[in-house]
Structure 1
Amino acid sequence: MPHQLPVKTLAGLLLGFAIQMFPHAASAASFDCERADLAADEKVICDTRSLNDADVKMATTFDILTSLLPMGTRGTLQEEQSAWLKKRQACNGDAECIRASYAERLKQFEESYKGLSRPL
């Protein structure tokens, strides 16, 4: 039986790889924090390092997961992401609500990753 890495270890390796490949993503939110028309949730994310980091992790994980999915299922993931974004935006400026939203979405990504078919 081949040795398999635990999901969290593999996800950590993928994230580390993505940060090295896309270093600009490691230092800023997935959107432009300099825009004048930032929504309340975006302002809090830009002003709170831990939320900014969660946003980068979420965006990077989304990109990685999207690239691993077959073409026919990527649309579903994108629709789920749009629905999640609306949920996050409904938090307005509530940092704890935003934090919980990111934790929930990252958990969903982890479950999606576990369900992927992988070669031996």
Structure 2
Amino acid sequence: MLNVFRIVVATSLVCLSAGTVAASFDCSKPSTRAERDICTDETLSELDTHLATYFKKVISSSSQDDAAKLRQSQRQWLTEIRNRCQDKECIKLAYESRLDQLRLSGVKDDDYNWEDDCRSPQMPSGGADCAQYVASKKREAVENELRRAYEKVVSALPNTQELADEKQLPQKVAFVDFFKSWDRFRKDYCQIYGELTGGAQVWKSANAAECEVDSAAAQTRLLTTLLKCIDSKEICMFPSQFGYGF
């Protein structure tokens, strides 16, 4: 009887390892065709786990309102895109597209490297086209992070000059105008920087994008520091303590 039990258990384990792989949901109870395909395909299972892990990281880095919108968009993606797929290639493309969308949040995806895409058949050289592609992807992510920091500062700044003077902060409308001017200057500066670096146009574009990435990242750090000062109820000494520019 014991030997029979061992045979049954061993057979079950072999079947399980051959037929299913790990996923972010219960593969013993797949509810859609897409889930069944994911549970029997290692590549799709890895994509599913990757998305689930990264989605949680993005949610934890988002405000309450943004997190609610993200959860809603994730549910919509599951029902209207992934679950409508009729083959594994469709599922793979759906996951890759969703991951790209989430990366625009600016939250670092530890399991992804943009440079890897440059080794694809579309960009075999890994040269200028690759550099431009990576720089543009970084710019999208960093500028989304900058936008969120900017919106938080704007919402925290005083509406009246009296309150602004009390903490030596700019009035909200003045800061908005100031930031728009800085952003125009940044883009003009980086465009000129790209042109001066020489080389083919694709290299100029890549260098200009890298310049925008660096300046946006620096500005995000300054805005984050400014926001902490505003929240601390201390005198922030704006703008001398939080200088802007390059």
Question: What is the TM-score with the length of structure 1 in the denominator?
Answer: 0.71
Which one of 39, 46, 51 corresponds to residue 39 of structure 2? 46
Q: Structure 1: 5+ residue runs without aligned partners?
A: 1-26
Which residue of structure 2 aligns with residue 9 of structure 1?
none
Which one of 19, 40, 55 corresponds to residue 62 of structure 1? 55
Which residue of structure 2 aligns with residue 111 of structure 1?
104
Larger relative contact order (CA 8 Å, sep ≥ 6): 1
Structure-2 separation of matches of 1:28 and 1:49: 8
Q: Does 1:72 align with 2:65?
A: yes
CA apart distance, 1:32: 0.2
Structure 1 vs Structure 2: percent identity of aligned residues? Answer: 34
Structure-1 separation of matches of 2:98 and 2:105: 10
- Equivalence map 1:1-120=2 (5 Å): 28-35=22-29, 37-86=30-79, 87-92=81-86, 94-113=87-106, 114=141, 115-116=144-145, 117=149, 119=221
User: CA RMSD of the aligned region, Å?
Assistant: 1.6
Structure-1 separation of matches of 2:68 and 2:89: 29
Structure-2 separation of matches of 1:99 and 1:119: 36
Question: What is the TM-score with the length of structure 2 in the denominator?
Answer: 0.36
Please tell me the residue identity of whatever aligns with 1:33: C
Structure-2 separation of matches of 1:63 and 1:119: 23
Q: Secondary structure, in 3 states, of the residue corresponding to 1:84?
A: helix
Structure-1 separation of matches of 2:47 and 2:85: 15
Which residue of structure 1 aligns with residue 128 of structure 2?
none
Q: Structure 2: 5+ residue runs without aligned partners?
A: 1-20, 107-140, 150-219, 223-246
Q: Runs of 4 or more off by more than 2 Å in structure 1?
A: 116-120
